[in-house]
């Protein structure tokens, strides 16, 4: 396992990405109001107050479990993206970044992002009502997102970028 | 290489298994919940034949444009000539609607409705997996039939106060008890409730909710009042804090 992943170097981007993810998700839940507020001809004071109200609304407009899963998904998304970018940079420095590596990493970023989107993506598509068809009213998507992100995180941590071949002593 | 391939296959199968298992556990858990409450399989709002308007692929108002929403013939709380109208699509058995009722509604009523600045219109959006919600909505309409809009809101307050809002948070046999406490004629009330006199009214609200893109509860539309009762409403979804309502209403009052 690459120990460098636990360095403080990854902390800041993880926090920034996680916060952005959380913010976007919360605002997407009230997409109509957010769009109207950001692009309407209102004062900055009004815009600021609405955005702050919607952010503070995450405590009142979600279940405890829903909020917990959202925070976990945000942190995992932040970690995944930070790790992927870090891995890309390392490969670049080692001149090991080929099209395939870069391509799959980008797919990984998109994949992890999409897997984590869950309800916000449905909301974006205007399909949030369809979540009612699921047994847990859409909570499945949150569980699914966290699961996929955990897998993604596990494989990222597991992957080694050292420039050496390992010998399997058992053989 | 073959070893890596086999590990990958095992991981993929394991991931697939976990996903399927999560879904099945979720389904079973929900089924058990419903069975424990003595309810049948939850029906979906879209299964309701009276809600004949299909849920739109892109909900109206989700592009940020105000949505045209009518107050219909639904009960009004506050001054009928108030400058701003707040339409609340709500469900008596929705926990977030109850949270709004407990934490935001009293302040809104005190600051804006009682002062004549805002009129509130309650429209029914009983989600079909909240088993008792449709009948509770009808009961409130039966109360209105006897005592007008004021009685409607007295009844409305009592339901939200007494229910635990979990689908069956208020036993249906408590509906006449509330009516009796409010001094209504029990015979007339029970007859109204049993005959389903206001089922069509509740169903119309459901259909209207789908038309204006209210797919969950509570969903609010806030806009300047008009003479025909149709507002260009800004959509607010969920149990948002008082500050969100205050900011929007203050802007509309300018």
pLDDT tens digits for range B78-113? 999 999 999 999 999 999 999 999 999 999 999 999
Q: What is the pLDDT of residue A84?
A: 81
Q: What is the largest CA-CA distance in chain A?
A: 71
Top pLDDT among A105 and B160 is at B160
Domain assignment present for residue A3? The answer is no
What is the pLDDT, as a whole number, of residue A90? Answer: 76
Question: Residue A77 contacts by C-beta under 8 Å, 6 or more apart in sequence?
Answer: A17, A18, A21, A112, A113, A116, A149
Q: Which two tokens stand for residue B215?
A: 């797919």
Q: What is the pLDDT of residues A32-73, one digit of tens each?
A: 899 999 999 999 999 999 999 999 999 898 888 888 888 888
pLDDT value of position B209? 94
Query: Is residue A79 assigned to a domain?
Result: yes
Residue B207 in contact with partner chain A when CB distance is under 8 A: no
Domain that holds residue A138: 8-165
- % of chain B exceeding 90 in pLDDT: 68
User: In this structure, are strands B76-77 and B230-237 parallel, antiparallel, or unpaired?
Assistant: unpaired
**Does a structural domain hold residue A2?**
no
Q: What percent of chain B has pLDDT over 70?
A: 75
The predicted pLDDT at position B163 comes to 96
Whether residue B51 is predicted with pLDDT greater than 60 in this model: the reply is no
B167 pLDDT tier (thresholds 50, 70, 90): confident
For residues B110 and B147, is the Cβ–Cβ distance under 8 A?
A: no
Task: Map out the domains of chain B as residue ranges.
Answer: 1-46, 67-253
Query: What pLDDT sits at residue B3?
Result: 55
Contact B18 A147 (CB under 8 A): yes
Tell which of B128, B215, B222, B246 to mutate to test the A interface (max A CBs under 10 Å): B215
In a domain, A141, yes or no: yes
* A147 falls within a domain: yes
SS3 B77: strand
Q: How far is it, in rounded angstroms, from Cα A137 to Cα A139?
A: 6
A140 in contact with chain B, both atoms CB, cutoff 8 A? yes
Cβ-defined contact of A32 to B237 (cutoff 8 Å): yes
Residues of B in contact with A128 (CB under 8 A): 59, 215-216
Instruction: Please give the sequence-ordered ranges of beta strands (E in DSSP) within chain B, or none if there are none.
Output: 67-70, 76-77, 84-90, 118-124, 219-224, 230-237
pLDDT of residue A16: 92
Residue B66 has a pLDDT of 85
**Measured distance CA(B165)–CA(B167) in Å, rounded:** 6
Residues of A in contact with B235 (CB under 8 A): 30, 32-33
Q: How confident is the model at residue B68 (pLDDT cuts 50, 70, 90)?
A: very high
Residues in chain B closer than 8 A to A57 (CB atoms): 238-241, 244
Structure tokens at A131: 């979540």
Answer yes or no: is A171 within a domain.
no
Token look-up 């409010």 returns B182
Quote the ipTM score.
Answer: 0.72
CB contact under 8 A, A143 and B26: yes
Q: What is the pLDDT of residues B115-134, one digit of tens each?
A: 999 999 999 999 888 999 99
Give per-residue pLDDT as tens, B183-229: 999 999 999 999 999 999 999 999 999 999 888 899 999 999 999 99
Total number of domains constituting chain A: 1
Closest Cα in chain A, distance from residue B86 (Å) = 15
What pLDDT score does B57 carry? 42
Question: 3-state DSSP call for residue A115?
Answer: helix
Average pLDDT for B54-77: 74
How remote is the C-alpha of A80 from its chain's centroid?
Answer: 7
Q: What is the mean pLDDT of each run of 10 residues along chain A (171 residues)?
A: 63 90 89 92 95 93 85 86 80 60 44 41 47 60 73 68 52 49
Predicted structure pTM score: 0.72
Residue B79 burial (10 A CB sphere; 0-12, 13-18, 19+):
middle
B64: contact with A, CB 8 A cutoff: yes
B240/A26 Cα distance (integer angstroms): 11
Average pLDDT, chain B: 83
Inter-chain touch A30–B44, beta carbons under 8 Å: no
Q: What is the pLDDT of residue A143?
A: 73
Determine the pLDDT at residue B41. 34
Instruction: For residue A1, tell me if it sits in a domain.
Output: no
Fold classified for B67-253: Glutaredoxin (3.40.30)
> CA B233 to CA A135: how far, in whole Å?
32
Q: A30: closest CA among A52, A14, A10?
A: A52
- CA B210: distance to chain centroid? 12
pLDDT at B37 over 60: no
Q: Does A54 touch chain B (CB under 8 A)?
A: yes
Q: Within the 104-163 window of chain B, which residues sit less than 8 Å (CB to CB) from chain A? A: 127, 129
């Amino acid at each position: 396992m690459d120990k460098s992943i636990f360095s403080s170097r990854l902390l800041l981007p993880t926090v920034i990405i996680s916060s952005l993810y959380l913010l976007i998700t919360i605002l997407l839940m009230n997409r109509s109001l957010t769009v109207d507020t950001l692009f309407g001809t209102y004062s900055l004071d009004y815009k600021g107050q609405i955005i702050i109200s919607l952010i503070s609304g995450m405590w009142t407009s979600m279940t405890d479990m829903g909020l917990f899963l959202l925070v976990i998904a945000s942190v995992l998304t932040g970690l995944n993206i930070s790790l992927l970018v870090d891995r890309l940079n390392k490969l670049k420095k080692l001149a090991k970044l080929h099209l395939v590596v870069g391509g799959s990493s980008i797919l990984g970023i998109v994949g992890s992002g999409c897997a984590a989107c869950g309800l916000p993506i449905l909301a974006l598509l205007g399909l949030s009502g369809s979540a009612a068809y699921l047994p847990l009213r859409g909570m499945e998507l949150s569980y699914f997102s966290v699961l996929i992100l955990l897998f993604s995180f596990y494989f990222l941590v597991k992957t080694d970028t050292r420039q050496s071949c390992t010998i399997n002593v058992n053989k | 290489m073959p070893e890596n391939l086999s590990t990958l296959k095992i991981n993929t199968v394991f991931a697939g298994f976990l996903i399927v298992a999560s879904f099945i556990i979720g389904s079973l858990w929900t089924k058990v919940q419903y069975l424990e409450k003595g309810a049948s399989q939850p029906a979906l709002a879209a299964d309701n034949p009276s809600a004949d308007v299909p849920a739109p692929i892109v909900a109206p108002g989700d592009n940020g444009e105000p949505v045209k929403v009518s107050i219909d013939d639904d009960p009004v709380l506050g001054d009928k000539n108030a400058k701003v109208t707040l339409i609340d699509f709500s469900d008596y058995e929705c926990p977030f609607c109850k949270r709004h009722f407990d934490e935001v509604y009293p302040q809104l009523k005190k600051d804006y409705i009682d002062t004549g600045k805002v009129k509130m219109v309650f429209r029914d959006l009983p989600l079909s997996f909240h088993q008792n919600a449709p009948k509770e909505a009808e009961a409130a309409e039966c109360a209105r039939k006897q005592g007008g809009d004021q009685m409607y809101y007295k009844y409305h307050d009592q339901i939200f106060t007494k229910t635990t809002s979990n689908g069956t948070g208020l036993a249906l046999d408590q509906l006449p008890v509330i009516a009796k406490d409010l001094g209504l004629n029990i015979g007339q009330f029970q007859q109204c409730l049993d005959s389903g006199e206001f089922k069509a009214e509740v169903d119309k609200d459901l259909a209207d909710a789908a038309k204006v893109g209210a797919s969950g509860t509570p969903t609010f539309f806030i806009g300047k009042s008009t003479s025909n009762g149709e507002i260009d409403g800004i959509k607010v979804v969920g149990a948002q804090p008082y500050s969100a309502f205050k900011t929007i209403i203050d802007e509309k009052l300018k």
